[in-house]
Structure 1
Amino acid sequence: MKILGYTSPARGHLFPLIPILTELRDRGHLVSVRTLAGSVDVVRSLGLSAHAVDPRIEAIEHDDFTARSAVGAVKRSTATFVKRSEFESSDLASAISSDRPELLLIDTNCWGAAAVAEASGLPWASWLPYPAPFPGKGIPPFGPGFAPAGNRQGRLRDAVLGRLITTSVARTIRPPLNAVRASIGVPELRDTREVFTRPPLTLYLTAEPFEYHRVDWPASFRLVGPVSYDPPADPPPGLAEIDRPIVLVTTSSEFQDDARLVATTLTALEDEDVFVIATLPAGDPAGIDIPANAWVEHWIPHSALLPRAACVITHGGMGATQKALSHGVPVVAVPFGRDQLEVARRVEVSGAGVRLPLRRLTAARLRAAVREATARSGRAGELAQAMNSAGGAPKAADEIEQLAATWTAGPEATVPS
């Protein structure tokens, strides 16, 4: 079977897909990918066909880190996805024409590409690498990172603010997105939840109990557990000689001005009996005052560090957080924006780490949070067992093959030119 994957220009969305694609490749399928230009060579090095998405898509950058509230950040993010959707539609149509795939895998944030997939008549699936951003029974509204309601007051909060957030986001995205969908010839969206429920299959890259228990999952959703990938790179010289517990600090692979987390950590742990290793893939280590018990690098494979890590301090990205927890390493989550407030709250609720709000980030509080999180290694180990038993890439590949085997296309299916 010929499979075409299409991703948004974000490593945090490409990297979780890579183990699924290589699993499909190893099962004999022919796999090609359209993704961000800077990662094309990485994908090709794995024996997969890869090409860059339309550069106009990458030119539309996230500016959600400039928002003054969680709701404002959600609105800015969704507006970015809408702007990209117009270029995605023609880009994916061109890729379908050249590759002639028999199945499509579409990034959940690629709304124009999803509309083309819907129109194509081909079997298609989506993958969701961050907390499900739509309402559910007993689930707090997405964005602010609320704890699940435990009383009547909390349920009232969820009802009122959930309606406010949903209405506000819908006003931002529905009219322009439905205009794109109309140009492709697929039905308009009646509510924003449909953005995530239209795919015939959604591979949700997490598992309970890290994710909240829902009683009303869409029938198309499959929780397959976390899936992660590290680009190949040599571990730094001297890693084997480090004889202290390692504290790993991760920041976002997409710029969001989170270098402050690294600087605060270095100050907080300078006199502790640990060794700090921080990565700044979207930042610049130059100008950071680095103490003797620390390294700050642009990139180090996390998989080389996590087996020796006592704690991970993270910006709350779903990929980095779940990677740590799936290794049984407790987490301190300091969310800066995007889905990170939701991820950080799940860290707290799961009991496998500590949530430290950005507005409370100081060296003293971070030092205390690391000590508290390190004491929760037992719970992190329990969570790792649950995550790793969910199936991962092999389970995702099983679901994709099942979709292809049972697919029936509608008579109206067309691929836009």
Structure 2
Amino acid sequence: MERSSNKLVASAYDDYVMPIWKSLNVPVKRASGCTLEDFEGNEYLDVFSGISVTNVGHGNDAVVDAAKAQLDEFVHGCSYVHPNEPVASLAETIADVTPGDLRKTFFCNSGTEAVEGAVKLARKYTGSKEVIALEMGFHGRTLGSLALTGNNAYKRGMAPTLNDVAHTAPPYGYRCPRCNGDQCDARCADELERIIGSHTSGDLAAVVVEPVMGEAGIIVPSRGWLERIKEIAHDHGALLIIDEVQTGYGRTGELFASSHFDVEPDILTQAKGIANGLPLGAFTASEEIANAFESGDHLSTFGGNPVACAAALATIDELQDGIIDATREHGRWLGAELEALEDEYDAVGQARGLGLMWGVELVEPNTTGPRNVAPQPDNDRASAVSEYLQDESNVVMGVGGYYKNVMRFQPPLTISRDQLEYAVSELRMALEATA
């Protein structure tokens, strides 16, 4: 049945779609660049990009053309049964653009699958089973990846099947008693050593971290923190899996966020922005580690779909043709503007980020919050700000963070300075209107 209005689409969601996500409630008829349009012709500035997915802009011509051209050739031949050119070219390109000696890639359909596959590979290579992830981290919602996710809001009522998982403290300097608002440094990373000694049996296969923690509230570690995590993992014979599902493909002003910290992963997971909206995930490892997989150890019927791979190749070309450079420039401007909000508004506890991945943490002034360091998180204010922006300013901005109190700036990387200025101006208006 054709849906021709916002009301009909919303009604169909209520009647037939499982309630798995609190929607931003903008029924989308079409999208272009950084703009969403609903069925009534209303246009919205998108500074969320479908949770950091459409990095080179909605409807990017080069990506759309590449996908259409591949559709005319063939859509599916199961990439692990019939070798084909889009998969071969993308795998070679990923080997060229990823850090260090990462060389061989497995293609799947999502970030969750990429993380679970990476853990399987780490277990096969090391011969060990235990895994450590970060408290407040997010790695997916299937039962295996959910075990790694460090937030009970996602686990309630579930029963994760990976029992050999422990968690260590995140580099959340704003609420860290030791760092008291500064970035967590290498000393905080030493907590991993304690967790290994007290929560594992000496059978550690991998440590899994996001280089910038997205769902936790755009938490940015120090360079020394991530370096120390890798050092400790290797000291215990484990691999470092860096989860770049949300941070990869230009989001932070580098093709991969780990480059900011001069840390090379043993296994790198990717998805979201890799194909600008077409479903594709991947994990990449060195030849030695990758060759631990034997025929039949891992497989995906739809993984490496040639249409998605063609789109991914076009996406990488677009990113390297000036978009990443612009992201760095826009990110410096945006960071200065958002950090200024800390002095302007008592309700803004901290602004933090890299490139065009920024979070603004909202708090209740003159209160004492978790860890007795920073003020109480104000998730009600964050929800009100998001609603104001959508209803009064036609700006779509996500809310996240462990405490659901962080405004998330993650626009398409093609956003203009004028559009960024408008979004920041309207955020100020929303902060004042919800005071």
* TM class by smaller structure: 0.3 to 0.5
TM-score (norm 2): 0.31
TM-score scaled to structure 1, two decimals?
0.32
